[in-house]
Amino acid sequence: MKKYNHEEFFFSGDEETYTTLDNTAVSDQGGGIVRLTSTDHGFKAGAYVYIQGTTNYDGLKAISAVAANTFDIVSSFMAETPAGTETVKTMYSSGHAFEFLGFEIHLSEESATSENFVISKDASKGAAWDQKYYSQDMNGVQDRSNMFDIPRKCAANDKVDVVWDNTNDRLWGIILFVRRLG
């Protein structure tokens, strides 16, 4: 059986899998580190986030440090003050076509709320090509893994979006498995 190379993208937090940036100026921390403000974001250092709606910081970013209501990303500094509507998500996208192979999620303890964990494609061609890949009620769930029998093909700039409200604030770790094509 032929083995294929794949990449793993790690996301972690203890709030919902998405939030917004505050209307606060981005600050330069030096050494290619930028500080963003997001009240009660819950994201963890050493993981990724996907930022949308900014002028200078959109895309998949590595979190280097977190503090109360702020997180630092690896990025060159460009002065900007978000409007407060820009999003921070558990999401993967690439400028190349790719295959979404599957995911793993682990919680610090079983979820105690009935809320759906949903993974879907936000297609770059538009809503007519969007697709839900997975949905699971998380009540009573601590671990879930799903590697697709047939990888999900994604075009360049398609986004794999993970949404879960996590109102009981479980610590979560999510791994998205992808393989770049071409």
Q: 175 by DSSP, 3-state: which?
A: strand
> What b-and-e string marks burial along 33-57, b requiring 16 or more CB atoms within 10 Å of the CB?
bbbbbbeebbbbeebbbbbbebeeb
Write out pLDDT tens, residues 153-179: 999 999 999 999 999 999 999 999 999
Domains and CATH numbers, the chain: 13-86 (2.40.30), 90-180 (no CATH)
Average pLDDT, stretch 18-34?
98
Averaged pLDDT score across all residues of the chain? 96
Q: What per-residue confidence (pLDDT) applies to 1? A: 40
- Please check whether residue 14 is in contact with residue 169, taking contact to mean a CB–CB distance below 8 angstroms: yes
Q: What per-residue confidence (pLDDT) applies to 182? A: 77
Name which residue leads in pLDDT, 165 or 68: 165
Average pLDDT, stretch 43-66?
98
